[in-house]
Structure 1
Amino acid sequence: MDTIITAKEWASASDGGQPPALLDIRYRPGGPPGLPQYEAGHIPGAVFVDLETALAGPAGPRGRHPLPDLAEFGAAMRRAGVRSDRPVVVYDDGLGWAAARAWWMLRWAGHPDVRVLDGGLAAWTAWGGRLTAEVAPVAEGDFEPEPGALPLLDADGAAQLARRGLLLDARAGERYRGEVEPLDAVAGHVPGAVSAPTTGNVTADGCFRPAGELAERFAALGASGGAEVGVYCGSGVSAAQQVLALAIAGIPASLYVGSWSEWSSDPGRPVATGPQPG
């Protein structure tokens, strides 16, 4: 599966000819907004894509970042110049959460070649890449979503997977244990889920750990012997980074997009707290 590309590789891919479409997915929960940051300086050729409006639907019973309307998602991707026969590279300025959400959405919707810029904007500037405030015109793309290329979980599916396979909780450990809950009404985790914070997937510079290290990490958590794996987080954003890390390690995984924000809004769903058993 297409996964990541380094800053050096991107520089080569974008030098001459028709380079991959480049999408800037800067987003932070609670702000600051990504568009002003993009306008102040971005990788040349990048098009800004807003996670809240293009990569997610309105918040509600299905969670804070449910799947967007497919027609609206497809239109947003075409405006950004995404074509079915042209590779796509996405980046953000964090731990790869927002970029991975774009990667997952495009791959799930049938695009065959999408990669995340490893380390994001920081890796690009550290390599010596320049930024620009120029917003160049982009030719309309032709991408039409055909969903189903990657596995997807709903709440019932996540509950079942926690019993028969491995359901990873990508949030910080204290949120998993129910010690704090800054965003949702109920603290805790899906019963049977295993804590696996996304910070463990990257090095201090924000780049993904080597595939072998990631494979060892996930094997220690139970992703071995052909175990079926799924991932959730607070609202299906950071969990996409975990799915990407699993893909780098060669482990297919399903994403529970509604995640804890959907699960905890249903009073009929059980909630577990405290550390995971032994």
Structure 2
Amino acid sequence: MTHLVSVAQLVHLQRSAEHGTSPAVRLLDVRWRLDSPEGRPEYVRSHLPGAVYVDLEHELAHRSQPEDGRYPLPEITDLERAARSWGLHDGDVVVAYDDNWSVPAARLWWVLRRAGVAVRVLDGGIRSWVAEGLPVESGDVRPAIGTATLRDEATLRDEGTLQDGPVPPEREMRELKMNEVEAFLDGGVLLDVRTPEQYNGARTTGAPVAGHIPGAVNLPAMAAVTGDGRLQHPDVLRRIFASAGITADTLVAVYCSSGVAAMHSALALEHAGIRARVYVGSWSQWSNTRGRPVAIGILPSGRLSTV
């Protein structure tokens, strides 16, 4: 399955839909930043024609306790209700975009894809659309309620309808739980995609303690992005991930500060042909759980302490 679309490909899909030769295209605007999470004002000012705003913090996550992490996954019933409010129907071509290097759009990609929805990310986001001289509109789009049916991963597995067909259990796009992390490290690579300063403990960015999960390898998420916000070519991505000891045969899981940027790295890995799991709780959960080991420094083993 294609996980990214270019502007030219999106325009082609839209024209095909207009002529009745392909399914309807649903555009979802996931404007969000960690330091400015309310993206609706930017969306209302300017968005792709027909795009519907998605609230990452309230529709792609649910609020819980600090020990659950900053952005736990939404319940499948809540996600289905949100998807229908965006006007989604089964079989639609869903394309997500943002104005933040495709990081929040990747969150929607990962969350919807594991619920059985075929969704793609507009490479380069709204900036790439505007750069082609294509029109934008203002205001708020309120679509008619859709009828999409979402299913949790266990149901999809039982039905044999996981995205991309049957894959071995260790290759499924499953969430990595906190209690699975240390065992995963025995045979896989745990990728910390925060900045080097966050990884080595020089910065905390709001977490109660600094450092990284012992054994995790650092590779910042933005290493996968070009200067104009697009993902690197798959060949380039494979070289980048190889520098962290990751190849197509590697079992890999990803974490970040809050579980958003990690899904962007999962998208980049998928674009390179490498399936990754995501530790959704990420550092925001690990650092809020008493007794968890913490490593300080530039090496995966680091100088050990505990939360």
Give the TM-score taking structure 2 as reference length: 0.87
Provide the aligned length of Structure 1 versus Structure 2: 277
* Contact 1:233/1:239, CA 8 A, preserved across alignment: yes
Deviation at 1:39, TM superposition (A): 0.7
Are positions 1:36 and 2:59 aligned together? no
Structure 1 residue runs without a partner (length 5+) = none
Distance in 1, Cα, partners of 2:249 & 2:202:
33
Deviation at 1:9, TM superposition (A): 1.1
Q: Which residue of 243, 248, 256 maps to 2:271?
A: 248
Deviation at 1:163, TM superposition (A): 2.9
Deviation at 1:69, TM superposition (A): 2.2
Identity %: 40
Distance in 2, Cα, partners of 1:83 & 1:143:
4
Q: Which residue of 105, 124, 127 maps to 1:99?
A: 105
Distance in 2, Cα, partners of 1:21 & 1:168:
32
Aligned AA for 1:198?
A: A
- Counterparts of 1:75-86 in structure 2, within 5 Å, are 75-86=81-92
Are positions 1:7 and 2:7 aligned together? yes
**Gap change, CA 1:74 and 1:277, over 3 Å in 2:** closer
Q: Which residue of 62, 66, 69 maps to 2:72?
A: 66
Are positions 1:230 and 2:235 aligned together? no
Structure 2 residue runs without a partner (length 5+) = 154-161, 163-172, 302-307
Deviation at 1:4, TM superposition (A): 0.4
Deviation at 1:12, TM superposition (A): 1.7
Distance in 1, Cα, partners of 2:103 & 2:183:
26
Deviation at 1:59, TM superposition (A): 4.1
- Counterparts of 1:196-275 in structure 2, within 5 Å, are 196-224=219-247, 226-275=249-298
* Contact 2:248/2:273, CA 8 A, preserved across alignment: no
Are positions 1:143 and 2:166 aligned together? no
1:160 match = 183
Distance in 1, Cα, partners of 2:257 & 2:265:
13
Deviation at 1:5, TM superposition (A): 0.4
Distance in 2, Cα, partners of 1:239 & 1:39:
27
Deviation digits for residues 122-148 of structure 1, max 9, x if unmatched?
A: 111111121101434423222222122
Are positions 1:120 and 2:125 aligned together? yes
Aligned AA for 1:124?
A: W
More off after superposition, 233-242 vs 127-136 = 127-136
**Gap change, CA 1:198 and 1:262, over 3 Å in 2:** same
Moved over 6 A (4+): none
1:48 match = 53
Deviation at 1:228, TM superposition (A): 0.6
Distance in 2, Cα, partners of 1:243 & 1:169:
12
Aligned AA for 1:7?
A: V
1:23 match = 28
Aligned AA for 2:29?
A: D
Aligned AA for 1:12?
A: H
Secondary structure of the corresponding residue to residue 65 of structure 1: coil
* Contact 1:163/1:192, CA 8 A, preserved across alignment: no
Q: CA RMSD in A?
A: 1.5
1:187 match = 210
Deviation digits for residues 143-176 of structure 1, max 9, x if unmatched?
A: 2221224211011222222232100001111101
Secondary structure of the corresponding residue to residue 182 of structure 1: coil
Give the TM-score taking structure 1 as reference length: 0.95
